[in-house]
Chains A and B, each alone.
Chain A
Amino acid sequence: MKKLCVVLIMGVLIFSLTGCSTAAQEAPAEVQTEVPAVPVTVLELVKGDEVIYFTMDQLKSLPAVEGLAGIMSSTGKITAPALHKGVLVSTLLAEVGGMTDAHSVEVVASDGYSITYSPNQISNGEYITYDVSSGDEMETIGSLQTIIAYEREGKPLSPEMEGELRLVVIGESPLQVVDGHWSVKFVNKIVLKEAVEDWVVNFKGAIEEPMDRATFESGAADGCHLRAWTDADGHVWEGIPLYYLIGRVDDEIKHGDDAFRDDLAKNGYTIDLISADGYTVTLDSYTVMRNDDIIVAYLVDGEPLVEDNFPLRLVGPELSKKQMVGGITSVVINFESAPAAAEPTTQAAGEAPAIIGPADATLTLKGLVEAEKVFTMDDLLKLAVVNTSVEHPKKGTMDVTGVKVAEILSLVNLKADAKTATFIAGDGWSVDVPLADLQACENCLVGWDEEMLRTYMPGFDSNFWAKDLVSIEFK
């Protein structure tokens, strides 16, 4: 019995210890039928329209390099260098003509994440290196190379953990690592890109603005001022309507609804668009004013303009071919035809009126006010005159000139019990407007045309748009 117990204990111990062991157990060999492997693309190499696909075998058939790659995260966590094997990125790029200083290399992961490498990084291995033990920056030991790795320590990379391919920076020393953000997992695409060429086009009007590519592109962003036109050959030109660009330099206001000065345009001026070879196209302000079909294009079919058209070309359905000047280097507004408009405005607070009202018009504010007040045309012109567009409920968009009702209201002391404003016309016609509604209307104007004062009441029915306004009575 004793012997039996000892045997039993030994058996249990052996069983238990075996259970503790985490060593991988060899699974019984399964008999598998050989199925020819279908080549799977693991990497896409792109340059413009040219695309080359690589299977793993094709990658491995290229000259291989080996070296030590380790990384430090942005907050100091270090992964010690390990031996990586793969293909130099520059070797891959040679397949599509090679890399120059005018290129950049975008490395894309299978999830769409991407990061761009400079020629210095790809060709010269210029990376900051850190001491593997302390994380302190150090002089790079030997040279570094940028590779697409497919093996670490002699084993394939884990498709689940980091993808079959990983971009790593290899070197000769186990003592150094590079920044972790330069080590991209799950790489499946490399794009050799032409560096975007910067440019500056000079715009000159009341002020001068050397407009660079970044500024132009910001204005041409979708949701900003982007306009597109398709020419007879089906090419799509994208850019900014010329009048928006003119609006940046026709006075000090560069952006916003009021940037383009309609009043100056109505006074008349010309615009010269001058190309690099001196060829000049001149347009008048009446043609350009608020015209979305005269476009300064910077892209054609989604690509930056090239050769004679670089960087900007004037295009649009209303222009003749001769007018579609490319290679624009400067745009100049000639205000000579309207010298008064180019002069500093004489208005105290607002814009120069685009529409001149009758000099003898007056507007009386009366009723529940502390003191009745009469505005002459001169008084109105000393207020913040605006030239703007308003939407009439029946007539549609109208370009109008006037003074905001809110400003006029601010110049009289209304009594506390005033609830209604009555617009009264010269022929005795009148209409009541709830005072609160009038006060809440930011864009309502007391305006004028050449013959009479009017109210412009966007958002209100047409019967509140008074003609020949002579007084406003508060009740």
Chain B
Amino acid sequence: MKKQFFGLLILELLVLLTACNPKEKIPLVVFAAGSLIQPFTDLEQAFEEKYPDINVQMEFHGSIQVMRHVTELHEDIDIVATADQALIPMLMYEVNMPGTDDPYADWFLSMANNRLAVAYTQRSKYANEITSENWWEILSRQDVKVGLSDPRFDALGYRQLMAFALAQDVYRKDNIFHSFISQQFSKEIHLVDMGDFKIIRIPEILETAKNSHIMMRGSSIALISLLEAGEIDYAFEYESVIKQHGLEMLSLPPTLNLGEEEFSNNYHKVTVQMDFRRFSTVDPVFIGEQITYGLTIPSNAPHPEEAALFIRFLYSEEGQSIMRRNAHPLIYPPTGDQLQNLPDELRDFLSLK
């Protein structure tokens, strides 16, 4: 009886101790560009099913905001995925973690490409007229409501302006940018023609003028609901996002869509420059180039091993399949920058040298 009693006591204690210390999941914080919401949410679900001990905590922002959370707000983030890989060297390689000589990152994977396109619905004005030849003219009409994402916060925001500037050479019309932008903002967005290249200059106050036919929001994702609600007729979006939401899509010519490697030299002819210093250490200047998403593990990631596991999952058959299903296939075989600094387990897994 005594033995039985002590056995019960020990069992009770074990139950209590187990109840007191439920095995806590390891949080894996992923900050990603808004255009990755759908595929990364699917990835999160599949990854957590496979690795139930890890709790993926996704947070999505405009790509520039993603960077701000890492390098300016110093938040503990395990993985960063931006819609513009150039932001990683610009803002993470160049900025050291406080109190150290180590940068926030010293490598990135070139994760995926995308193309710029115009999203609309069947209800959009002139939906039956718009073509890849006249889109700029239709979007400039004062009775057409156009959604733009804010170039101060979102990579797509400056890319859409690049498309308008490049369109001037493609369609051989000098006033395309001006006729779309002019008088739509309280402070003008200037296009400076340097002859062999163009500079778009973004003022520090960017407010649409009264009666403007442009509606500007903090990110391109925020424009989707406006489009679906009929508040706007057209919005610039990434092709993957348009397909994910089942919207009508007008593809832009390859010389303008910022998605084709062979036209990179053409894209380089335009630069977007902020007329103010947004970050403490870097003057943001964005050079037109092929849209390429970047992925890295910040040097101060609290859970680098789990982060590497997530990236391995992303590049696994299952991960690639999820990305393909979301119209956003990975660049494969993997490539990137300064890959010699990649964690060993990732380099081996991805067969990178």
Contact = CB atoms under 8 A, between A and B. Distances in A.
A243 to B, nearest CB: 16
Given A74-B218, A181-B65, A215-B190, A113 B279 contact: yes
B194 A113 contact: no
Given A5-B5, A74-B219, A195-B205, 19 more contacts: A13-B12, A16-B13, A20-B19, A74-B61, A74-B153, A75-B60, A104-B204, A111-B72, A112-B280, A112-B281, A136-B225, A181-B153, A181-B218, A186-B73, A198-B187, A215-B190, A215-B192, A218-B199, A255-B195
Interface of A: 1, 5, 8-9, 12-13, 16-17, 19-20, 73-77, 104, 106, 109, 111-118, 120, 126, 128, 135-137, 179-181, 185-186, 195-196, 198, 212-215, 217-219, 253-256, 259
A77 B60 contact: yes
Contact of B16 (A13, A75, A179): A13
B20 A73 contact: no
B218 A179 contact: yes
Given A104-B205, A214-B192, A259-B195, A74 B5 contact: no
A226 to B, nearest CB: 15
Contacts of A255: 194-197
B154 interface: yes
Interface in B131-183: 152-154
Contacts of B280: 111-113
B182 to A, nearest CB: 12
A109 B194 CA distance: 35
Contacts of B225: 135-137
Interface in B220-261: 221-222, 225-226, 229, 231
B125 interface: no
A291 B46 CA distance: 67
Interface of B: 2, 5, 9, 12-13, 16-17, 19-20, 34, 37, 59-62, 65, 68, 72-74, 152-154, 186-188, 190, 192-197, 199, 201, 204-205, 207, 217-219, 221-222, 225-226, 229, 231, 273, 275-281
A109 B72 contact: yes
A45 to B, nearest CB: 19
Given A113-B72, A185-B73, A73 B278 contact: no
B204 A75 contact: no
Contact of B13 (A12, A116, A212): A12
A113 B196 contact: no
Given A113-B280, A253-B195, A16 B16 contact: yes
Nearest to A258: B195
A113 B2 CA distance: 69
B342 to A, nearest CB: 28
A115 B280 CA distance: 11
Contacts of B19: 20
Given A12-B9, A185-B73, A254 B194 contact: yes
Contacts of A179: 217-218
28 contacts: A1-B2, A5-B5, A12-B12, A12-B16, A13-B16, A16-B20, A19-B20, A73-B60, A74-B60, A74-B218, A75-B37, A106-B276, A111-B280, A114-B277, A115-B152, A115-B278, A118-B186, A120-B207, A126-B207, A137-B231, A179-B218, A212-B190, A214-B192, A214-B201, A214-B275, A218-B192, A255-B197, A256-B195
Contacts of A213: 190
A75 B221 contact: yes
Nearest to B195: A255
